[in-house]
Chain A
Amino acid sequence: MKAIRFTQLATLALLATLGGTATASAQSKTLTISWWGYNGEKMTANIIDPFKKICGCDIVFETGNNADRLNKLKLRDGKGVDVIYLTDSFSQLGIEQGLFQPVDPAKIPNLSEIYELGRAPQGKYGPAYTIGRIGLVYDSAKVNPPITSWNDLWRPDLKGSVSLPGITTTAGPMVVVQAGKHAGVDPYTGTDKAFEAVEALKPNVVKNYNTGSELVNLISTGEVRVAIGQDFTLASMQAAVKTMTWAKLKDGDIATLNTVNIPKGSTNVELAHQFINFILSKDVQQKEAEQGVDAPISTKVQLTPDQAKIWTYGADQVSSLTRIDYAKMNAAKTDWIDRWNEVFGK
C-alpha cells in the first residue's frame, strides 16, 4: 500500500532529523553575542577565532535586524545576551527602555584610541565601534548642476527622480531634520513647518525605499537618479550605475554610529568588557577596514587612499559630520511616522 510506505518514509525522515539535532555543547564560559549576521566569515576570522583563543571561551550568536533583536531582548527582560550590536538610534531606544547596563571605561583601555565622538556617544553606555554617514548620492551623468547641499533636494529639475529613505529606516527621520533646516525651523518644535517642507519635496519623489537592496534596484532599473543613502550602499550603486556619485555637501553629512552594549541581564560582564575592548583594538579595526567590513573608529588605523575611499576616514572627515540627538528624535518618532504616512500615503 503506497499510503503506508509514505507514512514509513515520513517517520524515517522524522527520526533522522531528530537524531541530527542532538547537540552537546556545555563549555564552562559562553559569551552570547547579538548582531546582524552578515559577513559571518570575516567576523569569524578577524574577531571570533582570535578572541576565543584569548578568552578560552565559547561564542554563540543571536542574529537578526536591529528591531527584531532589541524586541526579543526586551521580552526576555534584558537577559540571554552578553553583548549586543545595534545602530545608534536603536541602542538609544534600548537605553530608554532600561535594557543595558553602564559600561566601565576602566575595563576598556582601548577607548582612548578611538575618536572622541565614539567613546561615550549615549552617556555612560556602550561605545561605537564603527562610523558611517548618511548623505546624498546622485547620477552625475544625468543631474546637472551637481548636488552640493541638502537644499538641492527641493530643486524643481529633480521632479520625479528622487528616492527618500522610508520614515521607519535609520535614515528616514533625518529627512525630517533636513526638511526642518530647509524651512529654517527646529524640527522638534516647528514640526508643522518641517512637514510642510517634506510635503513640498513630494513631487520630486518617485518612491521611498525601505532597504538598501530596494534602493539599489531602483537605481539599477533607472527609476531613481538622486537618493539619500548610507555610505555602505555606494559601492553597490556604483556597480549598477557607474556615474553614481557621493555628493560633497557644504552643509555636511550626518554621522551614524554602530554601538556595542552590555544588556543588564548579561551573565558574563567581565568577558563582555574584554570583548568590547578587543574589537576596538587597532589590529582588529585595521583588518576590518582593509577587508571592507567596517569603517575604522580607531585613530591608529592607517589606510591607503584606495582602501579609505569607501569609508568615513580621517580626523577631517569625522569632524565635519553632523550628529543627531537620538533621544529627541525617538521621542518624536511616533508623531513623525503618523505625519509622514499622511504626507506620502495620500
Chain B
Amino acid sequence: MMATRIHPLLGAFAILVFFFLLAPLVIIVGSALSDTTFLTFPPQGLTLRWFANIFQMEAFRRTAITSLQVAILGTGLSLLVGIPAAYALNRYRVELPRWLSTLFVLPILVPEIVFGFALLKSITIGLGLPVFISLVVGHALLILPYSVRVVGASLASFDFSIEEAARSLGCPPLKTFMTVVLPNIRAGVIAAFILAFITSINDVSVSVFLTGPGISTLPIQILAHMEQFFDPTIASVSVLLMLVTVGVMAIVEATLGLTFLTK
C-alpha cells in the first residue's frame, strides 16, 4: 500500500520523539563499554569485559535460560487464553457483560507486590504447583491484560462480516479464524506478544514471590549481583537484550520478511 503524505510538522515531531527514546540508550551503551568498576559516561577506556562477565557467570546463564523459558511459555499461554477471550469480547459485544473486559485488566491493576504475594499464596502454596510451573502461570496471568486488551483493540476495527462471509461459504470456525481473522489483526497480536514478552522478561515484583529453591530469573539475579557489585554488568545486560532483539528481528526478516510485523 502506498503511504499517504504526512504533514512535515508531524514527521518532525516523530523524529524528535525517536531522539528522546533513543538518546538515553547511547549513554547506556557507552557505560556498558566503560573500563571502570562503576557506571560512568562518557566511558573511560573501552572494554568488552562486562559482556564477558555475563557469560562467565553460571548464575546469569542459568537464570537467563529460565527467564526465556518462562517468557516464551507464559506469553504463549496468555495468548492462547487471551486471544479467544479478546475475540469473544468483540464478536459478542452486545451479549457479554461489560465487566468482563474490566476483569481482564485486573492483573496489572492490582499493585504488583500484592499480586505476587496473593499468587504465592494461591498458586505455589494453595495449589502446590512446582516452582517453574507457578512462574509460568503467574507470568501468563500478569501479561494476560496485554493479550486481551491489545489484541482486542485491533479486533475493534475488524469487520466481522468478512468472517460471516467465509463461514457461510462453509469454512469451519477455527480455519476461518486462522485464515481470515488472524491475518487481519496480526499487528495487534505482534504488539501484544512484544509487550507481554518484555513485561515477563523484565518482571521483578511478581517473580520475587514465585521463584523458589533452585529456580530464579535473570532480573532477580541482576538485583542480587547489584547488592554487592556496582559495575557496568547491568548496563551490558540491557545492551545484550537489545542486540538479541535485533538478532531475532533479523531472523524474522530472513525467514518471513520484516513486513510480517505489520500488515
**Which A residues have a C-beta under 8 Å from some C-beta of B?**
1-7, 10, 13-14, 17-18, 20-21, 32, 34, 36-41, 44, 60-65, 68, 71-72, 75-76, 80-81, 211-213, 216-217, 220, 232-233, 235-236, 239-240
Contacts and interface: CB of A to CB of B under 8 A. Distances in A.
B37 A239 contact: yes
Interface string B137-159: 00000000000000000000000
Interface in B181-213: 182-183, 186, 208-209, 211-213
Decide if the interface of chain A is mainly helix, strand, loop or mixed: helix
B228 interface: yes
22 contacts: A1-B178, A3-B178, A3-B183, A14-B72, A14-B76, A18-B73, A32-B213, A34-B213, A37-B221, A38-B226, A38-B229, A41-B57, A44-B58, A64-B223, A68-B209, A72-B212, A75-B120, A76-B125, A220-B39, A236-B229, A236-B231, A240-B40
A29 B132 CA distance: 21
Given A37-B224, A213-B230, A80 B120 contact: no
Given A37-B224, A75-B121, A213-B230, A60 B72 contact: no
B155 to A, nearest CB: 15
B220 to A, nearest CB: 6
B49 interface: no
Contacts of A236: 37-38, 229-231
B227 interface: yes
Contacts of A63: 59, 211, 216, 220-221, 224
A343 B221 CA distance: 34
B238 interface: no
A315 to B, nearest CB: 26
Contacts of B36: 239-240
A311 to B, nearest CB: 14
B216 to A, nearest CB: 5
B139 to A, nearest CB: 13
A21 B68 CA distance: 11
B26 interface: no
Contacts of A14: 72-73, 76
Q: Tell which of B37, B38, B39, B68 has the most Cβ of chain A within 10 Å.
A: B38
B260 A2 contact: yes
B230 A64 contact: no
A65 B223 contact: yes
B167 interface: no
Given A63-B221, A65-B227, 15 more contacts: A3-B186, A6-B260, A13-B72, A13-B76, A18-B73, A38-B228, A39-B228, A40-B58, A61-B214, A64-B211, A72-B120, A75-B120, A75-B209, A220-B40, A236-B229
A4 B178 contact: yes
A258 to B, nearest CB: 11
Nearest to B224: A37
B247 to A, nearest CB: 15
B208 A64 contact: yes
Interface string B221-259: 101111111110010000000000000000000001000
B69 interface: yes
Contacts of B226: 38, 211-213
B227 A212 contact: yes
Contacts of B212: 62, 72, 80
B179 interface: yes
Nearest to A241: B38
B209 to A, nearest CB: 7
A81 B256 CA distance: 48
B18 to A, nearest CB: 26
A211 B56 CA distance: 25
Contacts of B40: 220, 240
Nearest to B60: A40
Contact of A68 (B121, B208, B213, B228): B208
Contacts of A18: 73
B260 A21 contact: no
Contacts of B225: 37-38
A234 to B, nearest CB: 11
Contacts of A71: 117, 209
Given A6-B256, A36-B228, A41-B57, A64 B220 contact: yes
Contacts of A220: 38-40
A216 B38 contact: yes
Nearest to A235: B37
A236 B226 CA distance: 12
Contact of B183 (A1, A13, A76): A1
B194 to A, nearest CB: 13
